[in-house]
Structure 1
Amino acid sequence: MVHPLIGKPAPSFSLPGADGETYSLTPGAKGVPVALFFYPKSGSYGCTKEACQFRDALADKDLFKRTKVEIVGVSSDPVDKQKEFVEKQKLTYPVLSDAKGEARKAYHVGKGLFGLAETARVTFIIDSKGTVRDLLDTTVNYSAHVKFVSKWLDKLEAEEKKAATPAEAPAAEAAAATPEVAAPEGPSIDELGRAAEAVQA
């Protein structure tokens, strides 16, 4: 079953971040891709690993730096829990508190682990125009999410490059259309000179 948001504009929302300040996410507004990941519980083993993998990718991976991807984490934990989580793990991106489930509802994210987890582990990739391109829904396999985002950033970067190329194409086509002036066929100047010398000899 295809997720209802695939190919559609990603919903905007505003939620409190770990610092207590309201963070507004408007996909497409900054002209950069967004990786929005929903996760079950701050501080649990899998969620900590996943959150730290996103932190490390932002710091170490050229692809994440080049594409200027915006990483945003969301769970149902209250702000004080998010604050503790962000500080302990030194997370460098917004981690938001969706205590009332507003963002989960907007993105059609249900419960995980057959209802045992309040939130499923779902990562959405949103392109620079704000369109939802794909999602990965696997609560157990926490390490797959950064790989999923990397694969999509690679793809989006290739698309952007391809879209930028047609502007340069007319000049290249014009150059290709201009016939090169061919050298006249027949004996070259050197050959004529040598022939003249031979005659004079």
Structure 2
Amino acid sequence: MVHPLVGKPAPEISAPGADGETYTVTPGQKGVPVALFFYPKSGSFGCTKEACQFRDALADNELFKRTKVEIVGISSDPVDKQKAFVEKQKLTYPVLSDASGEVRKAYHVGKGLFGFAETARVTFFVDGKGTVRDVLDTTLNYAAHVKFVTKWLDKLEAEEKKGAEEPPAPAATEVPAGDAPAEGAAPAPTDSQLGELGRAAEAVQA
């Protein structure tokens, strides 16, 4: 089943960050791809592994650096818990507190693990124009999310390279209106034909 946001503009969101300040995400505004990953619980084993994998990719993966992708983590945990999580794991990207559930509602993210997890583990990949290109929804397979973003960054880079290499369509050659013979009109005589006409006229006069 295709997620309802695929192919559509990604919603703008605002929520408190780990420092308590409101953080606004406007996909497409900066012209770079954005990966929004929703996760069940800060500090749990799978969520910690996932968050650290994104942290490490931003630091070590040349593709992440080259594309300037923005990573944003979101869960229902309160600000103080997000703050402790960010500081303990030395996370280098925004981690938002969606305690109200407004962000999950905007992105159609429900509960995970048959309702046992407050938030499902879902990652949205948004291109530089702000369009949701794909969504990965797998709560148990936390390691799949960084791979999912990597795959899409690679695909996006290939698309941009192909677009840059395609030659522009040739421009149509226009004939000046004064140079084009009227439709149905006889073609203009050649120099040779003009010479023969001149000689014929001289013979008649003689």
Normalising by structure 1, we get a TM-score of 0.83
Measure the CA separation in 1 of the matches of 2:86 and 2:123.
Answer: 19
- Is 1:118 equivalent to 2:145 in the alignment? no
**Aligned position for 1:10:** 10
**Aligned position for 1:87:** 87
Shift of 1:108: 0.3
- Is 1:46 equivalent to 2:46 in the alignment? yes
**Structure 1 residues 164 and 144 mapped into 2: Cα distance closer, same or farther (>3 Å)?**
same
> Which structure 1 segments of 5+ residues have no match?
174-201
- Is 1:156 equivalent to 2:183 in the alignment? no
Normalising by structure 2, we get a TM-score of 0.81
Matched AA of 2:101: G
Shift of 1:161: 1.4
Shift of 1:164: 2.1
**Aligned position for 2:132:** 132
Shift of 1:2: 1.2
The C-alpha deviation readout for 1:13-50, integer Å capped at 9, x for no partner, is 11000011111000000000001000000000000000
Measure the CA separation in 1 of the matches of 2:23 and 2:3.
Answer: 25
Measure the CA separation in 1 of the matches of 2:12 and 2:157.
Answer: 23
Measure the CA separation in 1 of the matches of 2:150 and 2:72.
Answer: 15
Overall identity of the aligned pairs, in %? 84
**Aligned position for 1:36:** 36
> Which structure 2 segments of 5+ residues have no match?
171-206
**Structure 1 residues 165 and 47 mapped into 2: Cα distance closer, same or farther (>3 Å)?**
same
**Aligned position for 1:58:** 58
